């Protein structure tokens, strides 16, 4: 269904809906009013949205929004308020239960399935990502300590990574999940580093190779498990930014073992990942179905348990609140670019993509999700590791 304005008849039906009172009472805990006048109030166009949301949880909330059954001017703030009031704990989540059971039984991130997220998400169209992202095409959280623009926040993040890795001219850097090559381009340009990047997206590899010019940067279209199987290549440094969310708990040990065999004994690794607060919690079922298939967020304890056999933890840095600003900047750029993007993407895509960006912003604003940077070493950094001034 497409979006449509709420009619008088629909409004009357909403008031007489058998679940109207309980729905209003639930939202009142987060100071949200159905069809209220404030920008974070939900505007119901189709009264059947109520039972769909209450019975299907996050999946019903997202799907009914894309269907045009409800709207919200400040969707990000509505989600933030709902999470802070823990409304998600009071609504049925059959999709979440199914996601948890699937993750326990099936290796959703197997080598065979690893390419799915590349095709469904990262290969959507470089025109979309060029419009939404900064000139380096960094598709991960920016660092907003001093920055006032998305461009500066992403360059500050890339420079922070390079400083934490203590990069020097002539070093070799492996980027596991390199995206469009933002870190490799920055490290090669500003630190004189030779870079190799791994990606499961053909579009990312194609774009990156076309924009890196004569820089010492190489893209490999491969899954991380298939790279350097004998450990014959050893890099001075390893970075993995925004890729660990696709690894999955069944593969954590394999991931860290691969990193260990590819890193020199005196090397450093930086892992940049979104994290969840609760071990065992599955990824949001709407996000998993429509945005990041087979995604899985780690908890802090899961990260420690998986990395301990292979690495020593040198540093842990949380700047998850910065992802709120990053996502809102992406949404602003996406909104401004929509008049030209709509030539290639339909209205349902617009509603889906806007929902994705704003809902994610709300989760970080509520501190329901985190953003972590870990610095790891194989044997303990000689003389001790010192985090740069950040």
CA distance 71 to 162: 42
**Is residue 360 annotated as part of the catalytic site, yes or no?**
yes
Cβ–Cβ under 8 Å, residues 173 and 235: yes
Long-range contacts of 18-23 (CB under 8 A, 24+ apart): 19/50, 19/51, 19/54, 20/50, 22/54, 23/50, 23/53, 23/54
Cβ–Cβ under 8 Å, residues 354 and 361: no
φ/ψ of residue 269, rounded to 5: -125, 135
Burial class (CB in 10 A: 0-12, 13-18, 19+), 100: middle
Burial class (CB in 10 A: 0-12, 13-18, 19+), 170: exposed
φ/ψ of residue 304, rounded to 5: -65, -50
Q: What number of CA atoms fall less than 13 Å from residue 191's CA on the CB side?
A: 24
Q: Supply 53's token pair.
A: 């949301």
CA distance 135 to 141: 15
Rg (CA), the chain: 22
- 20-42 as b/e, with b when 16 or more CB fall inside 10 Å? beebeebbeebebebbeeeebbb
Burial class (CB in 10 A: 0-12, 13-18, 19+), 77: buried
Q: Could you tell me if residue 4 is left (phi over 0), alpha (psi between -120 and 50 degrees) or otherwise beta?
A: beta
The β-bridge relationship of strands 194-199 and 217-221 is parallel
CA distance 116 to 107: 13
Active-site residue identified among 72, 80, 162, 360: 360
CA distance 26 to 59: 18
Looking at the annotation, which residues are catalytic?
360
């Amino acid at each position: 269904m497409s979006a449509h304005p709420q009619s008088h008849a629909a409004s009357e039906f909403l008031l007489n809906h058998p679940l109207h009172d309980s729905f209003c009472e639930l939202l009142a805990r987060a100071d949200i009013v159905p069809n209220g006048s404030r920008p974070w109030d939900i505007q119901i166009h189709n009264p059947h949205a109520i039972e769909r949301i209450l019975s299907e949880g996050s999946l019903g909330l997202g799907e009914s929004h894309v269907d045009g059954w409800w709207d919200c001017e400040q969707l990000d703030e509505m989600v933030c308020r709902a999470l802070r009031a823990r409304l998600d704990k009071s609504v049925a989540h059959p999709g979440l239960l199914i996601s948890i059971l699937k993750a326990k039984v099936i290796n959703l991130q197997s080598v065979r399935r690893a390419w799915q997220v590349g095709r469904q998400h990262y290969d959507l169209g470089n025109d979309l990502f060029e419009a939404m992202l900064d000139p380096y095409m960094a598709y991960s959280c920016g660092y907003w300590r001093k920055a006032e623009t998305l461009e500066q926040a992403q360059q500050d993040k890339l420079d922070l990574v390079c400083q934490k890795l203590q990069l020097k001219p002539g070093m070799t850097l492996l980027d596991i999940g390199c995206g469009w090559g933002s870190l490799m381009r920055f490290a090669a340009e500003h630190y004189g580093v030779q870079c190799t990047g791994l990606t499961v997206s053909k579009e990312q590899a194609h774009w990156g190779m076309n924009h890196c010019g004569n820089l010492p940067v190489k893209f490999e279209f491969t899954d991380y498990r298939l790279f350097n199987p004998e450990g014959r290549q050893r890099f001075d440094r390893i970075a993995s930014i925004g890729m660990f969310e696709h690894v999955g708990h069944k593969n954590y040990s394999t991931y860290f073992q691969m990193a260990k065999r590819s890193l020199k004994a005196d090397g450093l690794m930086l892992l940049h990942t979104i994290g969840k607060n609760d071990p065992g919690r599955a990824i949001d079922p709407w996000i998993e179905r429509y945005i990041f298939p087979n995604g899985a967020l780690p908890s802090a304890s899961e990260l420690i348990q998986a990395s301990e056999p292979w690495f020593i933890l040198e540093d842990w840095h949380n700047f998850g609140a910065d992802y709120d600003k990053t996502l809102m900047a992406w949404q602003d750029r996406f909104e401004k670019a929509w008049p030209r993007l709509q030539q290639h993407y339909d209205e349902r895509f617009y509603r889906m993509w806007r929902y994705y960006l704003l809902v994610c912003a709300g989760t970080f604003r509520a501190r329901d999700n985190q953003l972590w940077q870990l610095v790891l070493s194989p044997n303990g950094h000689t003389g001790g590791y010192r985090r740069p001034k950040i």
